[in-house]
Amino acid sequence: MQAPHLMTTYKPPTVRFVEGHGCRLVDDAGRSYLDFLSGIAVTSLGHAHPAVAAAVAAQAARLVHVSNLFGNELAEPVAEHLDRLVGDGEPAGGKVFFANSGAEANECAIKLARRFGGRGRHEVVSAYGSFHGRTLATLHATGQPSKHEPFAPLPEGFRHVAYGDLAALRAAADPTRVAAVLLEPIEGESGVVVPPPGYLEAVRQLCDERGILLVLDEVQTGLARTGRWFAFHHDGVRPDVVTMAKALGNGMPIGACWARADVADAFVPGDHGSTFGGQPLALSAVRATIDTMEQIDAPRRARERGAQLEVGLAAIDGVRSVRGRGLLLAAVLDDGVDAGALVDDLLVHGLVANAPSAGVVRLAPPLVVTGQECDEALGLISAALARSLAARDRGAARPGAGVEGATPRGVVAQGATAEGATQDATTKGATT
């Protein structure tokens, strides 16, 4: 599939989608697919959700955009609602900056940490295997050196340590130089890597001891994806700064950076801004999305359907273990099974997933997915793995190579395998 007028920042797509409803996508040939990626944890209410579509249409007919030099009627109530979700139902006492993406939300967090820390105390410590964005600063915060090399020299002031390694973090977190520790509660792009139990609590304690800000990147994990409103709620910690995007507008481009009030107040007028951030059109989508998520109890849905998928995946031949939380899950495949070839084969047979790292298939279906749709996906995965295992045993290069329409996949964001400990939710031969 050719697109000669688009920059080649992604591999050529193999499918062109033109329509979606709920958990289903339709391509330009009229073929239907079960979407278990949600645009990488974006369309959490499914495609073309009627509440979101109606809100955006109504707002577009009334007021799309005004400069942030002026106010709009949605910014404050939406910010207050997000503050309450950060507080797990209670006001968290913070303030919000609206941006257009997760990278911009993280850029805001980095600038805010430097402003709060003061001159000379500007460094940010993040983890290997992380992904925080593709601006120059967030790219350097991303713990994937292979992504740094083409764009060197990158902005200074970033250190990386092994994810889950508290001793390494303790050694790197010099309180005279470090303004913030920036972590994902689960590293999505390196294969849905969960830190060891107690890690985030210990990081919170370390940051408190040294007067360092704890910034949690919830761009992929936030807004009910893991079975709580934010993934850090599982660990009982309270971060100083939280970034979010992806599911925030159910597909409308928007991000947000929340910070506790005294940290947020380090910014003064002129320190930061965005032309489109927090415009009425985008905020109308956010309001409809989070209102609907509360109405359907989205965290509960993620827990219930996630448990179903976790058990089902663990029972499939070719799956060595399952890790993740809620509806952000990874199937870790047996040795010799090509995850990239597997997702190619799944796409040919009507299931959308992706392989963020070697030997791992990521699933992030809409939070409105039904039990029947989960069973359908498990059946497709089981059949594809059976073909893959048979091909492996025959020494074949790729399953699906002889299937009409099978072509190499386009992995959206391929990450390096994280260093340090990981925690599998379900492992063959073990109980959970």
pLDDT tens digits along 150-164: 999 999 999 999 999
The fraction of the chain above a pLDDT of 70, given in percent, is 91
- CA distances (Å), origin 374, targets 37, 170, 327, 417: 13, 42, 11, 27
The string of pLDDT tens digits covering residues 244-259 is: 999 999 999 999 999 9
Q: What percent of the chain has pLDDT over 90?
A: 90
345 included as an active-site residue: no
- Residue 404 scores a pLDDT above 60: no
**Confidence label for 423 from pLDDT (cuts 50, 70 and 90):** very low
* 428 catalytically annotated: no
Whole-number Å distance between alpha carbons of 323 and 329? 6
Q: How confident is the model at residue 394 (pLDDT cuts 50, 70, 90)?
A: confident
Distance CA 333, CA 120 (A): 46
From the list 97, 98, 131, 232, the catalytic residue is 131
From 35, 36, 235, 246, the catalytic residue: 246
Residue 426 has pLDDT above 70, yes or no: no
Q: Known catalytic residue: 246?
A: yes
Q: Rounded mean pLDDT of 89-105?
A: 98
Residue 123: per-residue pLDDT: 98
Mean of pLDDT values over 30-46: 98
Measured distance CA(348)–CA(214) in Å, rounded: 43
Instruction: Report the distance separating Cα 91 and Cα 84, nearest Å.
Output: 4
What is the pLDDT averaged over residues 175-189? 98
What's the CATH number for 53-295? Answer: 3.40.640.10
Q: Could you tell me the residue ranges of all domains in the chain?
A: 53-295
Please provide the size of the chain in residues: 432
Marked catalytic residue, from 35, 83, 217, 240: 217
How many whole angstroms separate alpha carbon 142 and alpha carbon 219? 13
Mean pLDDT, rounded, of the chain:
93
**Residue 250: strand, helix, or coil:** coil
Local confidence band at 424 (pLDDT 50, 70, 90 cut-offs): low
Torsion of CA 132, 138, 142, 145, to 10 degrees: 150
Q: What is the pLDDT of residues 58-79, one digit of tens each?
A: 999 999 999 999 999 999 999 9
> Which one is predicted more confidently, 431 or 202?
202
Task: Centre a 10 Å sphere on the Cβ of residue 164 and count the other Cβ atoms it contains.
Answer: 26
pTM, 2 dp: 0.92
Signed CA dihedral, 141, 142, 143, 147: sign only: negative
Mean predicted confidence (pLDDT) in 271-275: 98
Neighbours of 340 (CB within 10 A): 17
The span from the CA of 164 to the CA of 128, in Å, is: 10
